[in-house]
Amino acid sequence: MIDIKSLTIEKAHESLQKGEYSCKELAEIYLKNILEKNKEINAYLEVFDDVLEQAEIAQKMFSDGSATLLTGIPFAIKDIILIKGKKASAASKILENYVASYDSTVIKDLKKEGAVFLGRTNMDEFAMGSSSQTSAYGVTRNPLDLSRVPGGSSGGSAAALAGNMSLAALGTETCGSVREPAAFCGLVGLRTTYGAISRNGIIPMGNSLDQVGPFGKNVRDVEIIFNSLSRYDKEDSTSVPMELRNVDSRKDCKKIGVPWHLFEDGVDKEVGDNFKQSIEKLKSIGYEIVDIELPYSKYSLAAYYIIMPAEVSTNLSRFDGMRYGFSHDGKDLAEVYKKSRGEGFGKEARRRILLGTYVLSHGYYDAYYNKAIKVREKIKEEIVNTFKKVDFILTPTVPITAFKIGEKMDDPVAMYLCDIFSAPANLTGVPSIALPSGFNKEGLPFSIQFMAPHFREDLLFKVGKDLENLK
């Protein structure tokens, strides 16, 4: 019997290597679990019909000695990441029947290693949301409490992993979409440095912010996936060449800055208390905690909710009902556009297209978009300068714990506030890791988040492992 609850990538690899079970047997266990649980949780929009064939290919890599740590590892893949020959809908009606014609670079890399893709996971439509409730295909439930959301937008990937319906999972982040669901589902989630992992073949939301990010049950799993995907890719013009990644060479990193002023208000008391306990733990293992001020970062969310919709409105203009995707008849071209887009996009997508078009329009461009870009530069400068004084920046991951399904849907601003601690990393492009930090009385997970200098994911893994070893 395989105990999948405590299974990790390394443990599974060891067993597959020793032949204790086969890649097919491992995949079958997950498929069985999906069959039992997915109806209720709705983590997967589709379970692939070739999982066992993929497992057989992986098995051959063990026989011919070419297996790596990810060979045979069953993955859940967010429905925004293209896999050749499979549907990729971004959980939108407008892409309901879209079939990808090529593999994204991350999928190509994972295929080379013989990873097994179980299926594509639910998400907020076009990755816009913090609860996976804006999907055109129903909400995903949090496996830890079925009355609550798993977070978003990569909620399906997080729920698949937390519900033992996969052993590893990929999500994407534009602003918190890996870290927030990781926090709500008790997982480790990584937002990678902008330019570290290829965005080729990822349906874009905000090009200057998007990054692929792994989920894992522990830090090591996330590290394994990151190491396998982090590389230069000429197919992505924003991919950073390897020789430009060694910009920061600090060692022996123990100094953590805490911007207390950013979370004086608006953080749930129990989240604040848990955060303080985490600080004590860090002190007990030799980390130094210092106060820092990030005066510009308090405008992160405001800047993000201008820059992101601007990029969204541009990106989503390609869905016109003519080239591909959902199309509605009309008496002329304008009516086809109007009806296809009006019915193909959900409410949140339409809201952001409107906002984005507005902030980019003549007369408002300078007042909104241009100003937000300037604020973003100030925030970047501030964060980069802060990393001259400290090695990490620490905050709670989210100001609250997983909320009830149905909540915040009528109040977009309340939903956007979930991203308050996520935005600085995405606007700046630095990496950030969300780490589980205990549970509240109802059994809902808490989470803390570290940011590190550009391309220093290794520091995040180190501090994450130090905390894990303490448990």
Question: Is the CB of residue 110 less than 8 Å from the CB of residue 83?
Answer: no
Task: Select from 175, 200, 421 the least CA-distant residue to 306.
Answer: 175
Q: Which DSSP state fits 260?
A: G
Could you say which of 27, 73, 90, 128 contacts ligand GLN (CB under 6 A)? 128
Question: 153 an active-site residue?
Answer: yes
Instruction: Tell me whether residue 4 or residue 414 sits nearer to ligand GLN (CB atom).
Output: 414
Q: Which stretch binds ligand GLN (CB under 6 A): 20-28, 171-179, 251-259, 319-327?
A: 171-179
Sign of CA dihedral 226, 231, 236, 240: positive
Question: Is the CB of residue 195 less than 8 Å from the CB of residue 238?
Answer: yes
Instruction: Tell me whether residue 130 or residue 200 sits nearer to ligand GLN (CB atom).
Output: 130
Q: Does residue 225 touch ligand GLN according to CB under 6 A?
A: no
Q: What's the distance, Cα to Cα, between the start and end of the chain in Å?
A: 27
Report the alpha-carbon distance of residue 435 to residue 282 in Å, rounded: 13
Could you say which of 122, 130, 132, 327 contacts ligand GLN (CB under 6 A)? 130
Q: Which stretch binds ligand GLN (CB under 6 A): 57-65, 109-117, 174-182, 330-338?
A: 174-182
Could you say which of 71, 177, 297, 395 contacts ligand GLN (CB under 6 A)? 177
Question: Is the CB of residue 173 less than 8 Å from the CB of residue 81?
Answer: no
Which structure tokens are listed for 150?
Answer: 């798993």
Question: 300 an active-site residue?
Answer: no
Question: Is the CB of residue 190 less than 8 Å from the CB of residue 234?
Answer: no
Shortest distance (Å) from residue 410 CB to ligand GLN: 16
Question: Is the CB of residue 45 less than 8 Å from the CB of residue 120?
Answer: yes
Q: Does residue 176 touch ligand GLN according to CB under 6 A?
A: yes
Could you say which of 94, 136, 175, 420 contacts ligand GLN (CB under 6 A)? 175
Q: Does residue 129 touch ligand GLN according to CB under 6 A?
A: yes
Shortest distance (Å) from residue 173 CB to ligand GLN: 5
Which structure tokens are listed for 98?
Answer: 């879209």
Instruction: Tell me whether residue 42 or residue 154 sits nearer to ligand GLN (CB atom).
Output: 154
10 Å Cβ neighbour count for 338?
14
Candidate list 89, 135, 153, 278, residue with the active-site label: 153
Instruction: Tell me whether residue 16 or residue 175 sits nearer to ligand GLN (CB atom).
Output: 175
Angle of helix 9-18 relative to helix 219-229, nearest 10 degrees, comes to: 80
Shortest distance (Å) from residue 61 CB to ligand GLN: 33
Shortest distance (Å) from residue 241 CB to ligand GLN: 25
3-state percent breakdown (helix, strand, coil) of the chain, nearest 5: 45, 15, 40
Under 8 Å CB-to-CB from 214, ≥6 apart: which residues? 168, 169, 170, 171, 178, 189, 190, 221, 222, 225, 226, 229
Candidate list 131, 157, 166, 177, residue with the active-site label: 177
Shortest distance (Å) from residue 426 CB to ligand GLN: 7
Amino acid identity for residue 257 in this structure: G
Under 8 Å CB-to-CB from 436, ≥6 apart: which residues? 183, 186, 187, 188, 445, 446, 447
Question: Is the CB of residue 188 less than 8 Å from the CB of residue 222?
Answer: yes
Could you say which of 79, 223, 419, 457 contacts ligand GLN (CB under 6 A)? 419
Instruction: Tell me whether residue 426 or residue 437 sits nearer to ligand GLN (CB atom).
Output: 426
Task: Select from 233, 195, 17, 206 the least CA-distant residue to 107.
Answer: 233
Could you say which of 23, 69, 205, 303 contacts ligand GLN (CB under 6 A)? 205
Shortest distance (Å) from residue 172 CB to ligand GLN: 6
Shortest distance (Å) from residue 151 CB to ligand GLN: 9
Q: Does residue 168 touch ligand GLN according to CB under 6 A?
A: no
Q: Which stretch binds ligand GLN (CB under 6 A): 20-28, 94-102, 113-121, 175-183?
A: 175-183
Q: Is 236 exposed, middle or buried (0-12, 13-18, 19+ CB in 10 A)?
A: middle
Instruction: Tell me whether residue 74 or residue 152 sits nearer to ligand GLN (CB atom).
Output: 152
Instruction: Tell me whether residue 55 or residue 205 sits nearer to ligand GLN (CB atom).
Output: 205
Shortest distance (Å) from residue 239 CB to ligand GLN: 19
Question: 177 an active-site residue?
Answer: yes
Report the alpha-carbon distance of residue 34 to residue 447 in Å, rounded: 26
User: How many chain residues interact with ligand GLN (CB under 6 A)?
Assistant: 13
Interface map 300-339 toward ligand GLN (x if CB under 6 A): --------x-------------------------------
Report the alpha-carbon distance of residue 131 to residue 139 in Å, rounded: 8
Instruction: Tell me whether residue 292 or residue 379 sits nearer to ligand GLN (CB atom).
Output: 379
Interface map 136-165 toward ligand GLN (x if CB under 6 A): -----------------x------------
What amino acid positions are annotated as catalytic residues?
78, 153, 177
Footprint on this chain of ligand GLN (rule: CB under 6 A): 127-130, 153, 173-177, 205, 308, 419
